[in-house]
Amino acid sequence: PEKYYTFVEKGMVADLACIVSRTGYTGEDGFEFYCNPGDAPRLWDTLLEAGNEFGLIPCGLGARDTLRLEAAMPLYGHEMNEEITPIEAGLSIFVKMNKTDFYGKEALIAKGIPNKKRVGLKMTGRGIAREQFPIFVGDKEIGYTTSGTHCPYLGYAIAMARVEVQFSEVGIEIEVDIRGRKISAQVISLPFYKK
């Protein structure tokens, strides 16, 4: 498949039956392969061998999560969960409230206009804001971080956070409480990196 978010259900890779998915969780161009578990080692070895001349190397979960964060892709349990609506998670593009009906529509209507919004943070002070660190403007707690890391591409620490809507504008200066120390940060637009 060439278009992102498409699938080939009866694909063949290295003479192995696979579902080939033009998706990913890093924001990078790529494919995901779903095959019989017993075929996975052969598929892995074949892909690495074929990609060797192009510099293909495996990466770990740390690299994947950094890329996910740079692309501002929400992760279940961090930026979204049973309590955070898709709208609050910044996924309103996938929610068509003008449709006659869909699963969860009544719950979204009942919840009303969100009072929190997912934002990007650039740490301007020294520190990395990981998950669940409180965010302040002055003495007022306005939200919390959901994911954070040092971004090698940008050269500074970044985080995604949920903050009260009135503090979600790009450029607002905030502070993140990192283990009892308030570290300065600034609201910036998402994604942090876009190809």
Structural domain total, the chain? 2
Letter string b/e over residues 103-126, b meaning 16 or more CB atoms within 10 A of that residue's CB:
eeeeebeeeeebebbbbbbbbeee
Examine the domain organization and report whether 96 and 24 are in the same domain.
no
Supply the DSSP string of 62-121, one letter for each residue: HHHHHHHHHTT---BTTTB-SSS-TTTTT-GGG--TTSS--TTHHHHHHH-S-SEEEEEE
Whole-prediction pTM value?
0.86
What CATH number does residue 115 fall under? 2.40.30.110
Name the pLDDT band for 1 (thresholds 50, 70, 90): low
Please tell me the distance from the alpha carbon of residue 100 to that of residue 105, in angstroms, as a whole number: 9
Examine the domain organization and report whether 73 and 168 are in the same domain.
yes
Distances in whole angstroms, Cα of residue 75 to Cα of each of 15, 35, 102, 153, 186: 33, 24, 23, 20, 22
Examine the domain organization and report whether 116 and 152 are in the same domain.
yes
Residue 117 lies in a domain: yes
pLDDT in tens, 106-141: 999 999 889 999 999 999 999 999 999 999 999 999
Examine the domain organization and report whether 51 and 76 are in the same domain.
no
The residue segments making up the domain with residue 94 are 69-188
What percent of the chain lies above the pLDDT cut of 70?
Answer: 98
Name the pLDDT band for 191 (thresholds 50, 70, 90): very high
The answer to whether the CB of 118 falls within 8 A of the CB of 145 is: no
Averaged pLDDT of the chain? 93
